Structure 1
């Protein structure tokens, strides 16, 4: 039976700003995703480090148009796109904004400061935060010890908070973060490999540095409605309707492997660190 979000799950997302789906990927799917990710030459070449305010580094690679590689096939899978379609406001087609492979390595993986994704995307000229969403797939286990994501439950209802640079990252106003923490619950989002997290573009979230002996890798894909174009930064993928593929496409495509660099638009380190 095809995966489908229930009405209760949709209501939970709307109320809390996030939704966890245990076991969204099975063991075989996760194993393939991890194997390809750690061997992917294009990912290795196009990954860059961002320093937190303590100088620790988090590595990531970010790209825009999803292809026929393992990441693109997952991002465009019917179960993923149909779920996003149920959670986003509006009726226009679902589009892929960007995906990123987060690589928080043992002992050296840095923290992410408190922020909202829409704190960044507002400056790209997107007008409607309810038409933007991020989806995280845990490739390895995410625990408090290795710096799992933390969210402030229901903080998406606050609206956009002002953001500024902290180290090489953009962070939310700590005054408003502290206000939120006085009345809202802090949740540590611990995930098993294959678990999935949907989170609203305005929910406040962060993660600690990875001081453990285990890596924390995740794939995060951001989606947008075609009815929500960016008025400042040109990002054609974010207003191009997705071509969905069957859920089992990871295995129907025998050649599905890593990213083909000559067909993929990666975010450059210069643009990532531009102030």
Structure 2
């Protein structure tokens, strides 16, 4: 399995492992996702825009300081001009992040399970750490588009070591916004970076270091998967997801792994570990 997993990841920039989660584990995470909806803020709600990911987040300390916290981000279409919910709370969230893997046991159990450790070992990680985790809702009829991007644009290491673990908690189809990839695009390096603004006087706390590349729609391959499937995502592969225009939600749990042995986490990244700490370490290979 080690060679086949490596070969698939190196060839395409992603790899698929079906039935990664058991049915009872899927149900536990779905229930935890519902609970997060009911615990979301009742005022001063923050919106997350996957289409213009620098639109609101670039000026929001609520987002920038969320690396070691559990914080809630709503869909644009869920909030009216007065900041009030227009939808059922169970359908209003875009995502919750970015410390589910440290602060909520059910997510921590999956993130740190032996299956994840085994994959990290198979892929050659020596001292892997988890910088962030998210519950993604992609709710029916409102789940927003996520523009083409590379995870390493936001979670940059030298040398590259970023690996996404994206776990479908419900069936992901072309109708409800499954992941789409440009196969092999991870071989072309990091196309742009989303970094902390060096101009400390600017209201824009985060900026892109260059304009967005143009990726033709025809270059993307949709990847529909069943609930319980794990998709491994190379940090440099270009991927996206469309609007959910269907009547079925597409919940997912996702987290990222980075190497910490002989690898440098960029101080320009929006996400930084708490002061005098490091990201949670999985294991240290002898």
| TM-score, length-scaled by structure 2 | 0.70
2:95 corresponds in structure 1 to 60
1:100 corresponds in structure 2 to 134
For residues 250-269 of structure 1, what are the structure 2 equivalents within 5 Å?
none
Match of 1:26 among 22, 26, 47: 22
Distance 2:114 2:129 in 1: 13
Distance 1:241 1:35 in 2: 27
Task: Tell me the SS of whatever aligns to 1:12.
Answer: helix
Task: Tell me the SS of whatever aligns to 1:33.
Answer: helix
Distance 1:188 1:56, change over 3 A: farther
Task: Tell me the SS of whatever aligns to 2:28.
Answer: helix
Distance 1:24 1:143 in 2: 18
1:148 aligns with 2:178: yes
Task: Tell me the SS of whatever aligns to 2:264.
Answer: coil
Task: Tell me the SS of whatever aligns to 1:224.
Answer: strand
Match of 1:128 among 141, 156, 159: 159
2:213 corresponds in structure 1 to 174
Point out which structure has higher relative CO (alpha carbons under 8 A, 6+ apart).
1
Distance 2:104 2:49 in 1: 32
| More deviation, 221-230/33-42 | 33-42
For residues 30-109 of structure 1, what are the structure 2 equivalents within 5 Å?
30-40=26-36, 44-45=40-41, 48-53=46-51, 59-64=94-99, 66-67=102-103, 69-87=105-123, 91-109=125-143
Distance 1:193 1:6, change over 3 A: same
**1:115, CA displacement in angstroms?**
0.5
Distance 1:19 1:87 in 2: 12
Q: What are the ranges of 5 or more consecutive residues in structure 2 without an aligned counterpart?
A: 53-75, 79-92, 196-205
**1:242, CA displacement in angstroms?**
2.2
Distance 1:169 1:60 in 2: 21
Q: What are the ranges of 5 or more consecutive residues in structure 1 without an aligned counterpart?
A: 245-275
Distance 1:215 1:208, change over 3 A: same
Q: Cα deviations across residues 140-195 of structure 1 (Å, max 9, x unaligned)? A: 11110001110111110011112579xx99797333x24xx77xx52211111101
1:241 aligns with 2:278: no
Distance 1:32 1:164 in 2: 33
* CA RMSD after TM alignment: 3.1
| More deviation, 92-101/155-164 | 155-164
Distance 1:203 1:146, change over 3 A: same
Specify which structure has the higher proportion of helix. 1
Contact 1:119 1:172 (C-alpha < 8 Å) held by counterparts: no
Distance 2:50 2:207 in 1: 7
Contact 2:153 2:194 (C-alpha < 8 Å) held by counterparts: no
Distance 1:202 1:40, change over 3 A: same
Report how many aligned residue pairs link the two structures.
227
Distance 1:158 1:243, change over 3 A: closer
